A and B are shown apart, each in its own frame.
Chain A
Amino acid sequence: MMPDLHAGQFYYVYAVIATDGIPRASPTGVGDAPLEFVQLGPFSAVVSVVGPEGGGSLRADLAAYTETLDWLSARTTVIPVAFGTVLDDAGAVLEYVLEPRVEQYGELLARLEGSAQYHLRGIYVRDRILTELVLSDANLSSLHRRTRDLPQDQPHPELVKLGEGVSAALDEQRARDSDRILSAIAPHVTDLRDRLSGDLDQVFNVAMLVPAGQLDAIESTLEEIAEAEHERLRLQLTGPFPAYDFVGAD
């Protein structure tokens, strides 16, 4: 157990790690406070003391949080706790972070060990994909011909129809392209999750859980696809990140 905190002090919680993975040296976290570890048997929560006034600016806190998670991830397997989690004291960390999920943490750490998260984004070359869609669909082509000289900001029924049709065709195209590209890398990843998306040009935006030995295979598979299709879409791979997307609810 940790010593009690002074009045008006709280614990900022970063992550859960295996107790035998606690690093010897520790950097500072939010507000430059040194990292501490609240232990419950094989699992430990990584925390630091934060005062009633919080850390620094949002920008500084974000940087401190991600740097802390990166630092930990370079040394041990890490289950990130959501940014901005502050609890009263070590007792609360035990009660609300560690105890309720003891069984889950063992499985999660085993699953994440040796792996890292990468993000893969597919982005259409907009003009090219729209042209593709319109030219390959007789109905859209004729709508396009009929509406191209109308004022484009007026809700003319045929314009709305064209937009609706293009939007639906794009959805189907997205599903096909996503399935094809993601299936090609699927043999090399442990898990795959959708990330936030919604951009018109986006093919997909996914997080991948990648075992250490598989990155080369993924990169060369993606390079082949990116080269073959570079006129119609771009592929962007970022990472490694701590496994932020693979520890919470889907």
Chain B
Amino acid sequence: MSMQTMQRRGGGYLERPAPSGLADVVEVILDKGIVIDAYVRVSLVGIELLTIDARIVIASVDTYLRFAEATNRLDMYAEGGESLPDFIGDLQEKGAAKKSAGVVSGAKKAITGGGDDDDSGDRRPARKSASRRRQSDDA
């Protein structure tokens, strides 16, 4: 298998940072890979699985206050600012993209090969999505 080289393009708007540092490495492998049952694994001092408790953060009053604070720190109505409709006019969504639970669920319909998230063995017939939507408003 031939891996592509890390830096393919120089400038441009798409950022291509090379992972560096411990935090990046941990972020890449955290909770990933085939997991072997804990009771058959050997626990050695200093060797441990890196796992996290990925509980959903319950929205609390504190969380909302953070949002409010971030919002109200902005000076959106400053004198002489851009006119509001101009400011957001070009940002309005054109396509009627529907809301989806996980962010990937909508996009998955357009994936090639009808792959789904089932890697447990039995292959369900690939649902061919008739409409491969391409709704980027490339300007």
Contact = CB atoms under 8 A, between A and B. Distances in A.
Given A134-B71, A191-B117, A244-B28, A212 B4 contact: yes
Contact of A182 (B27, B33, B54, B103): B103
Interface in B15-46: 15-19, 22, 25-37, 40-46
Interface string B70-94: 1111101100000010011001110
B36 to A, nearest CB: 5
Given A58-B46, A206-B104, A131 B64 contact: no
A84 B48 contact: yes
Given A87-B36, A230-B13, A196 B52 contact: yes
A66 B49 contact: no
Nearest to A145: B77
Nearest to B73: A152
Contact of B106 (A13, A92, A179, A234): A179
Given A52-B44, A86-B44, A167-B67, 13 more contacts: A54-B45, A61-B46, A116-B4, A160-B64, A167-B64, A170-B67, A179-B106, A182-B107, A184-B135, A222-B14, A225-B138, A236-B14, A245-B32
Interface of A: 10, 12-13, 15-16, 50, 52-55, 57-59, 61-63, 65-66, 73-77, 79-88, 92, 95-97, 101, 103-104, 107-108, 111, 113-116, 119, 126-127, 130-132, 134-136, 144-145, 147-148, 152-153, 155, 159-160, 162-164, 166-167, 170, 172, 174-176, 178-194, 196, 198, 200, 204, 206, 212, 215, 219, 221-228, 230, 232, 234-238, 240-241, 244-250
